[in-house]
Structure 1
Amino acid sequence: MLYHVKMDVKIPLDMPKETADAIKATEKAYSQELQRQGKWRHLWRISGQYANISIFDVDNHEELHTILQGLPLYPYMSLEITPLNRHPSSIKEDDS
């Protein structure tokens, strides 16, 4: 199942820089491993925002929920999640 996920990150302004940097480093490693596994298909930064648009390819809602809750920045995020379905007018034979 494919999902479009918009992630807005709001790290508290009073968080020590060292703490924020450590969380971001852990987040980067976690997200890159999910990308290597093919679970996190696409990742785009939204210009001018601390936000991204991502496409996930997972088995079900529960797997997506587990992955998102595993993000080290999850406690500082607001998420918008949209399940995606193939459009009948698409000329592609797959979802790549």
Structure 2
Amino acid sequence: MLYLVRMDVNLPPDMPAAQADEIKAREKAYAQDLQRQGKWLHLYRVVGEYANYSVFDVESNEALHNLLSALPLFPYMKIAVTPLAPHPSSIR
């Protein structure tokens, strides 16, 4: 199943820089691993915001929830999920 996911990150302003850097490094490693596995198909930055749009291909709602909740930045995110289906006018 395909999902379009918007993730908005809001780290606390008083979080020590070293802690933020460590969380971001774990986030990057996890995201890249999921991309290599073919679960995180696309990752796009939202210009001018600490946010992204991503496309995931996972087997179920529960699988997506488990994947997202394991993100190191998850406690600092607002997430919106849109399930996707093929469009009848698409040539792909």
Alignment TM class, shorter chain as reference: over 0.9
Task: Please state if 1:47 is matched with 2:63.
Answer: no
User: In the aligned structure 1, how far is the partner of 2:77 from the partner of 2:64?
Assistant: 15
Correspondence 1:1-96 to 2 at 5 A: 1-92=1-92
Under a length normalisation based on structure 1, what TM-score does the superposition of the two structures give?
0.95
Shift of 1:8: 0.2
User: In the aligned structure 2, how far is the partner of 1:8 from the partner of 1:16?
Assistant: 20
What are the superposed Cα offsets for residues 24-52 of structure 1, whole Å, 9 maximum, x if unpaired?
A: 00000000000000000000000000000
Unaligned runs of 5+ in 2: none
- In percent, how many aligned pairs have the same letter? 62
Q: How many residues end up aligned between the 2 structures?
A: 92
CA RMSD of superposed structures (Å): 0.3
> 4+ runs of 1 displaced by more than 4 Å?
none
